[in-house]
Amino acid sequence: IFFRLSTMSLGDKFAQCKKAFIAIEQSELGTADKALQQRISETLDGFQELEQGVDVAGVFSKNEELDDVHTGDLKFLLIPYYISDLLTKLVDTHHLEHLKVAKMYIDGFLDKCQRLGIISSAEFEKLTEVQVIDRQARIDRHRKEKEVSSRLADLALQKKKLSKTIKPELLEDDSGYTEVEREYQLLTIEQALRKSVDKKSMCLKEIELLSLSQTQKEEAIAARDLAQKEAKENPKEPVMIVPSVESERQRIMEAVFKPVNMPTMTMEEYMKANPHEFTPAPPQPQPSEEEQEDSDNEEVTYKKRAWDDWVDEHPKGAGNRMANIG
């Protein structure tokens, strides 16, 4: 965007940078989006280049009053405000450093506004006081901001109407347009001043949190390095942990009911591995009716023979011991 800034006038450079700044403010992209971060970085470079050009040209002097500043140069007072705002929008590993630099630009902008008397000293002190403001003060502050915004909108409309009736090359010499332009620029600076006060408060809180986090991180790293160094210089002897009598007794009790040979396979796996052990025996042939009758006759014959042998060996009445008792 800014590769041609070196060939432009200071006014054209400012208009180009401000246009890019407004586009960033109105962008719907997230702050961490790479494309938006690239635009923020480029716009920041443009304003910083413009800042150097204003210093080299000697647009402002240290002892001049607000009335001595040319109306066309008033807008350059806003450069530190734009730079500080863009710095707070940068999201990278150097965010803490960006915030500290942004605070420096805000302080410089506020000091210059106070010295030139952009607003009264009493109002400036009331605006920049650190203590918590009460409800009525917040209401008054909000009402003042609305008044400034409304007046800026009216002045912008007047500038637009005047620019249509006056030739562009004669605008700066026209007293009516110059008066409207000056009031517009001063109110824009006042609006930026009020925003910068809130921005400074936010920067201070964020710097405090990030610094605390950084300090804790550094302390943790230092403690770790110290522990590692002490461990190398004074190595500790290994600690032998001997089981107590109670734990040894518990181990023996648990071993009593512990199976010695744990199964290595399930019943289904064993049956698949040894199918011959689980094959049913072939059915025995059934005897025919004649064979069954012959078998029955032989059994009856054997029983009769056994009974005859027993009778021969035991005379009648031999087993009746009560037979001769008279």
- How many degrees, rounded to 5, is the angle at CA 143 between CA 141 and CA 148? 95
Backbone angles phi, psi at 258, to 5 degrees: -85, 125
The one-letter code for the residue type at 156 is: A
Number of independent structural domains in the chain: 1
Tell me the two tokens of residue 296: 């029955």
Q: Which of 129-133, 163-167, 183-187, 273-277 has the lowest mean pLDDT?
A: 129-133
Mean pLDDT confidence for 101-112: 93
Q: Within a domain: residue 30?
A: yes
What is the extent of the structural domain holding 15? Answer: 10-231
Look over the chain and give the mean of its residue pLDDT values, rounded to a whole number. Answer: 81
Q: Within a domain: residue 301?
A: no
Pick the closest to residue 89 from 52, 48, 13, 38 (CA basis): 38
| Helix (H/G/I), strand (E/B), else coil: 257 | coil
Q: Within a domain: residue 313?
A: no
What pLDDT is recorded for position 235? Answer: 67
CB distance 37 to 91 below 8 Å: yes
Q: Within a domain: residue 282?
A: no
Q: Within a domain: residue 308?
A: no
Q: Within a domain: residue 242?
A: no
Secondary structure (H, E, C), 152-203: HHHHHHHHHHHHHHCCHHHCCCCHHHHHHHHHHHHHHHHHHHHHHHHHHHHH
Residue 126 belongs to domain with CATH number: 1.25.40.540
CA 163 to each of CA 177, 216, 253: distance values in angstroms, whole numbers, following the listed order: 8, 58, 102
pTM here? Answer: 0.63
Q: Which of 17-21, 66-70, 160-164, 281-285 has the lowest mean pLDDT?
A: 281-285
What pLDDT is recorded for position 236? Answer: 63
Percent over 90 (pLDDT), the chain: 28
State how far the Cα of 111 lies from the Cα of 15, in Å rounded to an integer. Answer: 24
Give the pLDDT confidence of 164-205 residue by residue, as tens digits. 887 776 777 677 888 999 999 999 999 999 899 888 888 988
Q: Within a domain: residue 203?
A: yes
Q: Within a domain: residue 59?
A: yes
